[in-house]
Structure 1
Amino acid sequence: MAPPSPRQRVLSWSATWLVAGPAAAVVLAGAAPMALQAQAAEPQVRVLLLEADRMPLAAGQQPLVLRAGSQRWLLAPSESVVLQLAAGDLVLERGGAVERLPQMSELWLEPAARPSGDGADFQLQQRGYRGRLQLLVGASAVRAINHVPLEAYLPSVVGSEMPASWPQAALRAQAVAARTYALRQRKPTAPFDVSATVSSQVYKGVDAETPSTRQAVASTRGQVLIYGSSLANAVFHSSAGGSTENSGDLWSQQLPYLVSVPDFDQHSPVHAWEQRLEPEQLQKAFGEIGGAQRIEVLATTGSGRVRQARVIGPSGTLVLTGAKLRSRLGLKSTLVRFEVLAPELAALPPSLPPLPPLPSQPFDPGGQSPVQVPPPSLLAIGRGYGHGVGMSQWGAHGLAQRGQSYDQILRHYYRGTELRPYTSP
């Protein structure tokens, strides 16, 4: 999950339910009087689902309205349509008929009546979602943006980010972290707030919801992590490999609550791992220097993650940050070291002296023709999965198995934060 930009906190839609029940009107100290009137307005999240030149859409169990300006199309339950860019215009394909929608910049797909039941309101690429869908038409692609109430969005995020069979304490910790992250990421002047992928937090629609993820969200409704007067930067990752990372060792700012702490992910399937890097992959990753013969770690963070590394290739060297090295090689984490897997030398003449370290074309000492040695493979030996900052999901699972509650898990990974009802502008 990528680090979000800073955002100030604001007054609560859910303080009534969290503090005193539905009949009361309770707000946090310092709340403006207008908050009592605004409590019913649950925050919405705008999620980028897809950016493509073709959008297969369908109604759920209820009819939908597709509207573009003054034009309206009613979609019967389960009816499907396709929106596609063609020669700069948007084309609507429906029931074998084709209709061109020239100079169209925005469309909306939304329920024809008030949604009811637990099913999806619409489908995109055969995956069901709640809420409304905004379609922003660009020159070469259409953006599909799901506008969905926050508490309806979260059960899918929890189920997409964690196995639904995990203990409730871990699922609830994930629900609070995901809620805090989504609210902090809201950007009123941008076209969307978050994406549905690991670049934000994973969101797979209603198919990822289960009774256990809905319970985790409902039981923590409105709760967020606050540090001082602001929403915390509640980033998370899969597995830390024994120790989480200081935010300042990875990103530009060291936040006081995102410090390195012991992880409890020893049972994680990615706590320790190895990845063989073949010459073809190394050539593709470091084409500007002809591949890689070895990788030297030059500097590490306090937790042992690569801060800077030197890649030595047949035609030069590169110095990269740990993050760029991980990206180029597709590594699970930067908590990694590298070994050389020497090429097979059995076929070489026995009279040759020992080869120098990692030569690309060693020569016979008598000046005869060069001996072709295949480029080496490398072995990456690492621990953990993800950037390592904030909550480790496998660590949360481990703490839950030890009997820790969700608030204890959150306090462990986000030091000095407070669990409080969210407050909105």
Structure 2
Amino acid sequence: MKTINHTWRKLALTTIALLVLVSAATAVPVRTQAAVPSLQDIRVAMFMQLPGKYDQTTAAATFQSAGGIGLGVREPDGAHKWLSIPAGESVRVAVDDYKVKLLETKTFTSAWSVYQYVVSAKGTAYITSVKKNGALHYQIFEGAYKSAAESASAVSRWNADAKLSGMLGGFKPAAQGPLRLETPAYSSKAAAEAGAEQYGAAGFDAYVAVRAGASGPVYSVMIGGASTAEELKTLQADAAKAPSSASLKPVDPTSRYMLIRPDYANTGKANDSQTLYMFPLNDMKVWLTPSGEQPISLKERSGRTYRGSFELSAFNGKLAVINELPFEEYLYSVVAVEMYTSWPLEALKAQAVAARSYALNKGLGFQIAHVVDTTLSQAYNGTGVEKPSSIEAVEATRGVVALYNGKVIEAIFSSNGGGMTADAKEAWNNEVPYLKSVPSPDDVSEKGLYSWYRVVLPSGQLGYVREDLVTDSGQKTSAGSRILELTADGTNIRKHPLIQEAVPVVAQLNKGARVVELEKVMESNPMRWIRGPFTSTELLTTLNLRVNPKLTAPITALEVSSRGVSGRATGLSVNGAELTLASPDTIRSALGVGGSLPSTLFDIEETGKVVILGAGGAQSTKSDESRKVYVMGADGKSAAYNGEYLYAMDGDGDIRAASKGAAFEFRGTGYGHGVGLSQYGALSLAQQGYDYEYILKYYYKGITLAKE
């Protein structure tokens, strides 16, 4: 097994102050350059489908503002307001596309049960209602399909669902499309609602629709929901028996309108609905803007509130939700999410310039949006996270960007460089002149943390317990290991030295229980961490999600086959064979059981591997369960050892827990890809008194800073 030489890393950390003093002399002030790029408004995608790049979709988007919302459309000549949504009232928006009508019933409880089942089955579900034949009918629709063929396939799929069929009470799912008939305009919304009831009384699905008029909104009624031209002809023939049938005309597929329907998805109550506005599957763009000073909230993004306006459109056949806002105000949130707002202002200013440069470098990287709101671009959580310090950092650096050879850089950053940042080639196999490996003072993340003990439980299990939850019992095992005693009831013994919901609890012990100490380690943190041990089966599962051809044989040997200039793993071998991975950075996810490894700067311990010294100095190696270890008892008889762990003492008196079968533990440093700015490194440098210009130039080699 290859290991990292940690000596140079310790030297790098201790000499960082000297390095920064030498480099500080080269710092130059920010200067203005005519070619500096700028951006007035940024477009941030919350939901959209962009194959191969971003795929987060929602059936509908729910908006609300304490100051009210203006709802309308956005055209090439600007935004046009159609309606005013009152303060505090929620409004939902979706695409009027192709769907499957799964159920129509007069019983809300039946409809709600079907709706919940479809959601649990990962379907795109809607629950709405329509007045028809003198009664209120609840309808369940599924899907956001862009063609009749797609919706027809969905009908077959849902018809094959035996559980759903049993819930439908004989109702037969059918395709539903956006091909409808429409009346002329009515004199008012109330008149249109009365007209819809008339068509409903004749047995038609009838909905009020709104359009833009010369002096305000204009309302009409649309009936039906055909998915093909043939179905539309049938609808026209049936509609000939309806009142005022001569005035019904097919809806122009290129026209701008919004259907107005009640929606129960968020309330779950028959007597409490929200208004759903559905716009056509064409190039129409719905535009929502705050009526007052209060921001708009988006329920499907955890109810967060956002500056600026929202644009909704049909993109690649799915609902796209874009937040458009002033670029610098977008950074208020990014800085607050990406870095602790309690950190020194110079660190926050460095983050502001990096975030600004990154976004400018990407351009319209998502076709209809510059960035997305997740860490695929930069985390952006709206106004709720903004703090005075994050706003100050943005305003103090307003317009400042990082350039290399006159072009704005891709200002990559990560949480913690692990003592040495990565070269871009170590992460993604590409050379970038300003993204080079540098020593980084990242151990500041360990300040104030507890140590943890790795312990053996009375049951024979292994786990970690925090140092403040145990005390020395004053006793030792025959091998000299300390026996610790728990000081509180209900103490969780965890698989990793970290309190997190995702970290499994091995056992729970009460006050007075005794455990045997194996080692003392630092609490896992962005600088230093432990993961595993993971079994061969666990690693096979996660590796086979990333490699092709798939691995079939049990993993008995796992090694880092190559490392980059910072010591990060750039290659892996399994059972002596090299793995083919998309990029070195994918090693993190390829080896992550229950979540990616924090970084690729790690060592691997084969916990099932034991070298046993036999008679005459002969050595024997055990790496998995295929070889038995025999233990001789006091009676001189030997027997196969069947415990979960074999505890072996080396020549230095250190005790190691060797697993029964093949398993692998990862101990590493750093958090993230490690390329570019290290956020904890920026914190340390700022604490040492360095300004944001120096911090940026230290992590991005050869750059200049310029202001528009």
TM-score bracket for the superposition, by shorter chain length: 0.7 to 0.9
Match of 2:570 among 307, 316, 336: 307
Q: Tell me how far 1:312 sits from its aligned partner.
A: 2.9
Structure 2 equivalent of residue 62 of structure 1: 67
Structure 1 equivalent of residue 586 of structure 2: 324
Q: Tell me how far 1:129 sits from its aligned partner.
A: 0.7
Q: Partner letter of residue 123 of structure 1? A: L
Give deviations 1:395-417, integer Å, cap 9, x for gaps. Answer: 00011111111111111111221
- Counterparts of 1:5-404 in structure 2, within 5 Å, are 28-29=33-34, 43-50=40-47, 51-68=56-73, 72-84=82-94, 86-87=99-100, 88=145, 93=262, 95-96=273-274, 100-111=278-289, 113=291, 116=293, 119-125=294-300, 126-138=303-315, 141-187=318-364, 190-268=367-445, 269-279=525-535, 280-287=537-544, 288-290=550-552, 292-312=555-575, 318-320=579-581, 322-328=584-590, 329=592, 330-342=596-608, 356-359=621-624, 361-362=626-627, 375-404=661-690
Larger Rg: 2
Judge conservation of contact 2:428–2:584 (CA < 8 Å) in 1: no
DSSP-derived class of the 1:407 partner:
helix
Structure 1 position 417 matched with structure 2 position 417: no
Scaled by the length of structure 1, the TM-score of the pair is 0.77
Give deviations 1:47-84, integer Å, cap 9, x for gaps. Answer: 11133232342232322223357893432222112334
Higher-RCO chain (CA-CA 8 Å, sequence separation at least 6):
1
Closer/same/farther in 2, CA of residues 322 and 142 from structure 1, 3 Å limit: same
Q: Tell me how far 1:343 sits from its aligned partner.
A: 8.7
Structure 1 equivalent of residue 637 of structure 2: none
Q: Tell me how far 1:273 sits from its aligned partner.
A: 0.8
Distance 1:360 1:141 in 2: 51
Give deviations 1:276-325, integer Å, cap 9, x for gaps. Answer: 14225313213432453332111100110011111239xx8734453232
Distance 1:202 1:416 in 2: 27
Judge conservation of contact 1:83–1:93 (CA < 8 Å) in 2: no
Distance 1:71 1:149 in 2: 20
**Unaligned runs of at least 5 residues, structure 1:** 1-17, 20-26, 36-40, 345-352, 366-370
Distance 2:379 2:676 in 1: 17
Q: Partner letter of residue 234 of structure 1? A: A
DSSP-derived class of the 1:218 partner:
helix
Judge conservation of contact 1:59–1:121 (CA < 8 Å) in 2: yes
Closer/same/farther in 2, CA of residues 355 and 180 from structure 1, 3 Å limit: same
Distance 1:77 1:256 in 2: 52
Judge conservation of contact 1:361–1:372 (CA < 8 Å) in 2: no
Give deviations 1:4-40, integer Å, cap 9, x for gaps. Answer: xxxxxxxxxxxxxx98xxxxxxx74579xxx9xxxxx
Give deviations 1:327-362, integer Å, cap 9, x for gaps. Answer: 222111111121122299xxxxxxxx9975424544
Judge conservation of contact 2:414–2:675 (CA < 8 Å) in 1: yes
- More off after superposition, 226-235 vs 212-221: 226-235
DSSP-derived class of the 2:351 partner:
helix
Judge conservation of contact 1:64–1:109 (CA < 8 Å) in 2: no
Distance 2:65 2:677 in 1: 35
Judge conservation of contact 2:335–2:390 (CA < 8 Å) in 1: yes
Closer/same/farther in 2, CA of residues 392 and 400 from structure 1, 3 Å limit: same
Give deviations 1:251-270, integer Å, cap 9, x for gaps. Answer: 34322221111101112232
Q: Partner letter of residue 66 of structure 1? A: L
Closer/same/farther in 2, CA of residues 141 and 191 from structure 1, 3 Å limit: same
Closer/same/farther in 2, CA of residues 108 and 278 from structure 1, 3 Å limit: same
Distance 2:411 2:308 in 1: 25
Judge conservation of contact 1:312–1:318 (CA < 8 Å) in 2: no
Q: Partner letter of residue 327 of structure 1? A: S
Distance 2:604 2:365 in 1: 44
Alignment RMSD (CA, Å):
3.3
Distance 1:153 1:171 in 2: 15
Q: Partner letter of residue 296 of structure 2? A: D
Q: Tell me how far 1:380 sits from its aligned partner.
A: 0.6
Closer/same/farther in 2, CA of residues 355 and 133 from structure 1, 3 Å limit: farther
Distance 2:377 2:65 in 1: 26
Distance 1:224 1:172 in 2: 11
Distance 2:384 2:355 in 1: 18
Closer/same/farther in 2, CA of residues 264 and 97 from structure 1, 3 Å limit: closer
- More off after superposition, 200-209 vs 79-88: 79-88
Distance 2:63 2:424 in 1: 42
Q: Partner letter of residue 145 of structure 1? A: I
Judge conservation of contact 1:355–1:362 (CA < 8 Å) in 2: no
Q: Partner letter of residue 52 of structure 1? A: T
Judge conservation of contact 1:236–1:391 (CA < 8 Å) in 2: yes
Closer/same/farther in 2, CA of residues 121 and 376 from structure 1, 3 Å limit: same
Structure 2 equivalent of residue 350 of structure 1: none
Report sequence identity in percent: 30
Distance 1:162 1:98 in 2: 38
Judge conservation of contact 2:625–2:662 (CA < 8 Å) in 1: no
Judge conservation of contact 2:333–2:386 (CA < 8 Å) in 1: yes
**Unaligned runs of at least 5 residues, structure 2:** 1-29, 48-55, 75-79, 101-144, 146-176, 179-258, 264-272, 446-524, 545-549, 611-617, 631-641, 645-659
Judge conservation of contact 1:108–1:132 (CA < 8 Å) in 2: no
Distance 1:402 1:204 in 2: 30
Distance 1:188 1:341 in 2: 44
Structure with the higher fraction of residues in strand conformation? 2
Q: Partner letter of residue 281 of structure 1? A: E
Closer/same/farther in 2, CA of residues 292 and 83 from structure 1, 3 Å limit: farther
Q: Tell me how far 1:139 sits from its aligned partner.
A: 6.3
Closer/same/farther in 2, CA of residues 81 and 30 from structure 1, 3 Å limit: closer
DSSP-derived class of the 2:377 partner:
coil
Distance 1:405 1:150 in 2: 24
Closer/same/farther in 2, CA of residues 382 and 76 from structure 1, 3 Å limit: same
Q: Tell me how far 1:242 sits from its aligned partner.
A: 0.6
Distance 2:672 2:573 in 1: 21
Distance 1:312 1:148 in 2: 53
Closer/same/farther in 2, CA of residues 61 and 277 from structure 1, 3 Å limit: same
Closer/same/farther in 2, CA of residues 376 and 149 from structure 1, 3 Å limit: same
DSSP-derived class of the 2:60 partner:
strand
